[in-house]
A = this chain, B = another copy of it.
Amino acid sequence: MRQMGNKAKLIEAATDLIHQKGYHTTTVDNILDKTGVKKSNFYYHFKSKEELALIALDSRIEQFEEEIINYTLLDGSISPKSRLKRFYKKISDYHESLNCERGCPFGNLAIEMSDVNEGFRSRLSVFFQNWESVLESCIAEGIKRGEFRSDIDPQHIASLLLCHLEGAIMMVKTYKTPEPLSSRIHSIMKLLEPI
């Protein structure tokens, strides 16, 4: 984290604040206060609050794919089942480390923005579909290896898993306990076992 320019600082702060409070309730002034950047300089780097938020979303997506997906679901050095377990563990630990606050940075935004801003919706849609297809490959390989049951379409399982994950993170945030995610991983694995 060496010598960050104002532009980078703004992107970082926006990413964090939007995850915390959502897009609409994060004000430009909030971002300015957190960074010490002046408003006029903000609008030198970005033409609008929306533009910054979209850039912040893109960078968050990239980071998630590089730091989470690549080291879990896409780690070819371990079995599909292990990959899936590691994936759940990592997500679950993350939300526990946040004291069950904030929720999913992507799911939150999907709910807040999908009906009112096509830019956010389409990015999130592509992102989720990509995530789903990575899950699908993991499941498909697991079925081939006999780790998972083979009587359900891997694509459908992937969809079920991603939807459940997003809903579970919502419940973690609502109930303020990690259980809906952490304590259910075992049941999910059981449902996927070969019959």
Contact = CB atoms under 8 A, between A and B. Distances in A.
Interface of A: 20-22, 24-25, 101-103, 107-108, 110-112, 114-116, 121, 124-125, 128-129, 151-153, 156-157, 159-160, 162-168, 170-171, 173-176, 180, 183-184, 187-188, 190-191, 195
B174 A121 contact: yes
Stoichiometry, as copies per complex, reads 2
Contacts of A176: 114, 121, 125
Given A156-B183, A163-B167, A170-B170, 20 more contacts: A21-B116, A103-B111, A103-B114, A110-B170, A111-B173, A112-B112, A114-B176, A121-B174, A121-B176, A124-B174, A125-B175, A128-B174, A129-B175, A152-B190, A152-B191, A157-B187, A160-B164, A163-B170, A163-B171, A164-B167
